[in-house]
Amino acid sequence: MGKVINIQPITRIEGHGKIVIRLDDAGNVADTKVHVQALRGFEQFCVGRPVEEMPRIVCHICGICPWAHHLASSKAGDGCFGVTPPPAAVKLRRLMQSIAYVGDRILHFYFLAAPDFVIGPDADYSVRNVVGIVQAAPDIARQVVKMRQQATTMLEHFAGRAIHPTFSLPGGVSKPMTEAERKEMIPLANELLEFSKFSMKFAKDNVFPKYLDAIKTLGVIEVGYIGTVREDGTHDFYDGKLRLMKPDGSYDDFSYEQYTDYIGEWVEPWSYQKFPYAKKWGKLNLSLDHPTGVYRANCLARINVVDRMATPLAQKELEEFRAAFGRPAHLTLLYHYARLIELLQSAETMVELLNDPEITSRDIRAKVEPKAGRGVGCIEAPRGTLIHDYTCDEQGLITNVNLIVGTTHNNAAICLSVDQAAKLCIKEGKYDQGTLNRVEMAIRAYDP
Amino acid sequence: MAVNVASEWLNACSGCEISILNTGEALLDLLAQLNFVHIPALVDHKYYGQLGDGTTLEIPEATVGIVSGGVRNTEHQHVLEELRKKVKILIALGSCACFGGVPAQANMYKPEEVWDKVFRGCISTEPAPNPENPNLPKWTTTCQALDEVTKVDISIPGCPPHPDWIADAILALLAGKTSWSLPERSVCDSCPVIREKKSGGGSIKRMLANAEFNPDEGLDKMRCLNEQGIFCMGPVTLDGCCGKAGVPRCVQARTPCRGCFGPIRKGSKPMVDMMGALTSVGLDPKTLVDRRAIMNRYIGAHGYLNVVPARPVR
């Protein structure tokens, strides 16, 4: 029995996990496991809660993408009570989601992922972090912090809370936007759009070219993809139908309510996180040589499944991306590239919505009466498709909850990517801390 | 001289860490004074050595320890105890660390009920035995606050805590102080709404319809939510969610408080006090739907929430 390498905690990600790599006697990788150790039990403790309280309970699933859970839950609540929110409420929900997205994408790219690219994957861990970034590129760091703060301020001034919001409810939202609030936000939004454009250019000029080799060697897994598209196949963060794409690029489109026909969840004895898989593609197989049933979510998945982006600048970037990497693009590190294309779309959407006169309408909440029902609410969170499925009784109290959340979709793919990275990087017992960090980079790409 | 800081997140959502990053430009000045020797969210220091070949879990020594999240499994316990040994001052950051937080709603159920639901009771899940592996820590009986496991020196409550207070507490430590706390005031003390000490009476309304207000006017022209008959935890909740200036965060969205900063003082009984507050404006506390869970949404540790055989009383 060879050596065991414990990489714990997995760092610069937003969860709790441990990578265990077992080497054989020759020092080559025999087996790699990613153990997800957290379990909180939202599916159980939400039972009994009033449907209208759910958006402000389940946002606590994730402090990085609380808005996504908040909105998926509101949509599930709309479904339970059988109500359609007025158009302005939907626009305000979309606006909040776009602002939160911009803040989130900036955070991940510069603070969590960039240390590997800007400081370098082999640098000592004491400098390979956000503090290192601040020292290496102080002007950019200052700008990043300022832009993030700006997104946060926009959310807080209008909706009270940037983290764990209370603004959206079944039937709509809690307050309208005044003309004064709209006017105050426009210049801030324009500035964020300019910074998003800068980030895209900065990455394409300075970051991606240097690491193109790493991008090409650190893992290609040919698996499927999931994302939300509008009726005509356009990218949409907030609403549409689900599209599940096979590794060869063919796909099925289906409505939210049909998700159980297409997605199953498998339990492995070595992880608390379940393994969603594409039911129609056969049984889940996690072998690196012949994976089956495995699909990925999050930005690269969305960029692969959509026919086009929703906004002009993002569409231009998609065309360039597809010309270079094809569709579907399978290189794991392209997640970073795809993330910035989505940053651009979020920023453009934000500006677009703020210039829509209907956004200041006072009609922002449909009449809601408790009744028995079921609602499946989906949202594209930064980390992937959220599925919130609620059933309630005649008093509008929850009787059943099912949740499949962003990173969970990626569980199987993350395991494959980490196994692959370990096998590529560790040979004949030779590895150092830089090697092990490269293994973690495979997981970081998914921004779990 | 920079101060060494070791930070951990346990049964947490990472919102507290994001709140730290939201300190804005003050963050950069703060970062220059702190030397993070361990913080999984940002720095790659590992428990078992950078080559993963150690046999015991180690966290470096530091002056200040910051922990978010409550304790939900044996590894959280272990990490917390190790960190406590290595730091001089331990800060519980956020309401999960201080009171259990939203995940402590699980304390209303037996652990086996939760596991049964998660692994065998979800519509898309193929039923399977509970995962079991030496690398998966076992659940503790309940979700606990940090001070139920070890000594805590400073508590910064909130879900998330306001960045103003995080910076304030850290700057106090940098200035040589060893304690820090928020003033004992209620959310109502910073809430500008109109209060007349009476409501329309009768049943408590759910948030099925929005509060009544004129969007063109400030909060100082809106009637108190409890007095509108909408349940708001402001009267029994510690003030501070808006930071050093501003109005309560939830009320800013014209929505009621749910108590994320926890009780006004240690050992108080928010549920009893809140029933009193409702009665005093003429509302019938018995009409509050899902009373026990909603009144203890953020404070389910410390025995505030526990298993009751029947379904929660409405």
Q: Which residue of B has its CA nearest to A366?
A: B209
Contact call for B210 and A174, based on CB within 8 A: yes
* Cβ-proximal residues to B284 (8 Å cutoff; 6+ apart), any chain: B202, B203, B204, B278
- In the numeric block, the tokens 């070595």 are attached to A270
Tokens of A225: 């993809």
Q: Where are the domains of chain B?
A: 3-105+133-174, 184-314
B55–chain A Cβ distance below 8 A for any pair? no
- Cα dihedral sign, B130-A16-A165-B268: positive
Contact call for B106 and A45, based on CB within 8 A: yes
The shortest C-alpha distance from A358 to chain B (Å) reads 16
- Per-residue confidence (pLDDT) for residue A215, from 0 to 100: 67
Three-class SS of residue B257? coil
Q: Write out residues 236-295 of B within 8 Å (CB-CB) of A.
A: 248-255, 258, 260, 289-290, 293-294
- Quick: pLDDT tens for A395-448: 999 999 999 998 999 999 999 999 999 999 999 999 999 899 989 988 888 877
| Best residue of B72, B120, B207, B214 to probe chain A, by most A CBs closer than 10 Å | B207
The shortest C-alpha distance from A325 to chain B (Å) reads 31
Contact call for B106 and A125, based on CB within 8 A: no
One-letter-per-residue 3-state SS of chain A: CCCEEEECCCCCCCCCEEEEEEECCCCCEEEEEEEECCCCCHHHHCCCCEHHHCHHHHHHHCCCCHHHHHHHHHHHHHHHHCCCCCHHHHHHHHHHHHHHHHHHHHHHHHHHHHHHHHHCCCCCCCCCCHHHHHHHCHHHHHHHHHHHHHHHHHHHHHHCCCCCCCCEECCEECCCCCHHHHHHHHHHHHHHHHHHHHHHHHHHHHHCHHHHHHHHHCCECCCEEEEEECCCCEECCCCCEEEEECCCCCEEEECHHHHHHHEEEECCCCCCCCEEEEHHHCCCECCCCCCECCEECCHHHHHHHCCECCCHHHHHHHHHHHHHHCCCCCECCHHHHHHHHHHHHHHHHHHHHHCCHHHHCCCCECCCCCCCEEEEEEEEECCEEEEEEEEECCCCEEEEEEEECHHHHCHHHHHHHHHHHHHHHCECCECCHHHHHHHHHHHHCCCC
* Cβ-proximal residues to A324 (8 Å cutoff; 6+ apart), any chain: none
Residue B123 has its nearest CB partner, among A15, A131, A260, at A260
A141–chain B Cβ distance below 8 A for any pair? yes
Contact call for A272 and B131, based on CB within 8 A: yes
Residue A270 has its nearest CB partner, among B16, B136, B260, at B136
The shortest C-alpha distance from A330 to chain B (Å) reads 27
Contact call for A169 and B290, based on CB within 8 A: no
Q: What is the CATH number of domain B3-105+133-174?
A: 3.40.50.700
A146–chain B Cβ distance below 8 A for any pair? yes
pLDDT over threshold 60, residue A10: yes
The shortest C-alpha distance from A300 to chain B (Å) reads 23
- Per-residue confidence (pLDDT) for residue A141, from 0 to 100: 86
The shortest C-alpha distance from B185 to chain A (Å) reads 20
Residue B215 has its nearest CB partner, among A37, A272, A362, at A362
Q: What is the CA radius of gyration of chain B?
A: 21
- Per-residue confidence (pLDDT) for residue B308, from 0 to 100: 80
- Per-residue confidence (pLDDT) for residue B311, from 0 to 100: 58
Query: Nearest Cα to A234, choosing from A300, A310, A299?
Result: A310
Q: CA-CA-CA-CA torsion for A114, A116, A117, A120, nearest 10 degrees? A: 140
Neighbours of A92 (CB within 10 A): 27
The shortest C-alpha distance from B12 to chain A (Å) reads 8
pTM above 0.90, yes or no: yes
A365–chain B Cβ distance below 8 A for any pair? yes
Contacts of residue A433 in chain B, CB cutoff 8 Å? 50-51
Q: Measured between alpha carbons, how far is A101 from A342 in angstroms, rounded to an integer?
A: 9
Residues A165 and A59 sit within 8 Å (Cβ to Cβ)? yes
- Quick: pLDDT tens for A260-300: 999 999 999 999 999 999 999 999 999 988 999 999 999 99
pLDDT over threshold 80, residue A320: yes
Residue B207 has its nearest CB partner, among A152, A169, A267, at A169
The shortest C-alpha distance from A308 to chain B (Å) reads 30
Q: Measured between alpha carbons, how far is B63 from B173 in angstroms, rounded to an integer?
A: 10
- Per-residue confidence (pLDDT) for residue A1, from 0 to 100: 62
> On the CB side of A416, how many CA atoms lie within 13 Å of its CA?
28
B235–chain A Cβ distance below 8 A for any pair? no
Q: Which residue of B has its CA nearest to A404?
A: B124
A398 pairs with which residues across the strands?
Answer: A392
Q: Measured between alpha carbons, how far is A113 from A441 in angstroms, rounded to an integer?
A: 8
pLDDT over threshold 70, residue A67: yes
The shortest C-alpha distance from A315 to chain B (Å) reads 30
The shortest C-alpha distance from B280 to chain A (Å) reads 25
pLDDT above 70: percentage of residues in chain A: 99
- Per-residue confidence (pLDDT) for residue A218, from 0 to 100: 67
Residues A164 and A66 sit within 8 Å (Cβ to Cβ)? yes
The shortest C-alpha distance from A89 to chain B (Å) reads 13
Contacts of residue B249 in chain A, CB cutoff 8 Å? 156, 160-161
* Cβ-proximal residues to B281 (8 Å cutoff; 6+ apart), any chain: B197, B198, B199, B226, B227
- In the numeric block, the tokens 């920079």 are attached to B2
- Per-residue confidence (pLDDT) for residue B312, from 0 to 100: 54
Buried b (16+ CB within 10 A) or exposed e, A241-265: bbbbbbbeeebeeeebeebbebbbb
Tokens of A60: 């606590």
Contact call for A11 and B44, based on CB within 8 A: yes
- Quick: pLDDT tens for A360-388: 999 999 999 999 999 999 999 999 999 99
pLDDT of chain B along its 314 residues, tens only? Answer: 689 999 999 999 999 999 988 877 777 888 888 899 999 988 899 999 999 999 999 999 999 999 999 999 999 999 999 999 999 999 999 999 999 999 999 999 999 999 999 999 999 999 999 999 999 999 999 999 999 999 999 999 999 999 899 989 988 998 999 899 999 999 999 999 999 999 988 899 999 999 999 999 999 999 999 999 999 999 999 999 999 988 999 999 999 999 999 999 988 899 999 999 999 999 999 999 999 999 999 999 999 999 987 655 55
The shortest C-alpha distance from B254 to chain A (Å) reads 6
Contacts of residue B215 in chain A, CB cutoff 8 Å? 175-176, 178, 362
Query: Nearest Cα to A304, choosing from A331, A344, A275?
Result: A331
Contact call for B106 and A63, based on CB within 8 A: no
B48–chain A Cβ distance below 8 A for any pair? yes
Contact call for B43 and A126, based on CB within 8 A: yes
Residue B293 has its nearest CB partner, among A49, A270, A431, at A49
For the complex shown, is ipTM > 0.90?
yes
Contacts of residue A3 in chain B, CB cutoff 8 Å? 53
Give chain A's length: 448
Contacts of residue A112 in chain B, CB cutoff 8 Å? 42
CB pairs under 8 A between A and B: 285
Neighbours of A407 (CB within 10 A): 23
Q: Write out residues 153-172 of A within 8 Å (CB-CB) of B.
A: 156-157, 159-167, 169-171
| Best residue of B9, B10, B44, B206 to probe chain A, by most A CBs closer than 10 Å | B44
Contacts of residue B137 in chain A, CB cutoff 8 Å? 37
Residues A2 and A25 sit within 8 Å (Cβ to Cβ)? yes
- Per-residue confidence (pLDDT) for residue B178, from 0 to 100: 86
Q: CA-CA-CA-CA torsion for A206, A208, A211, A212, nearest 10 degrees? A: -130
Residues A304 and A232 sit within 8 Å (Cβ to Cβ)? no
- Quick: pLDDT tens for A166-178: 999 999 999 999 9
- Per-residue confidence (pLDDT) for residue B72, from 0 to 100: 97
| Best residue of B110, B208, B222 to probe chain A, by most A CBs closer than 10 Å | B208
Q: Measured between alpha carbons, how far is A275 from A272 in angstroms, rounded to an integer?
A: 10
- Per-residue confidence (pLDDT) for residue B29, from 0 to 100: 82
- Quick: pLDDT tens for A165-208: 999 999 999 999 999 999 999 999 999 999 999 999 999 998 88
- Per-residue confidence (pLDDT) for residue A359, from 0 to 100: 98
A385 pairs with which residues across the strands?
Answer: A380
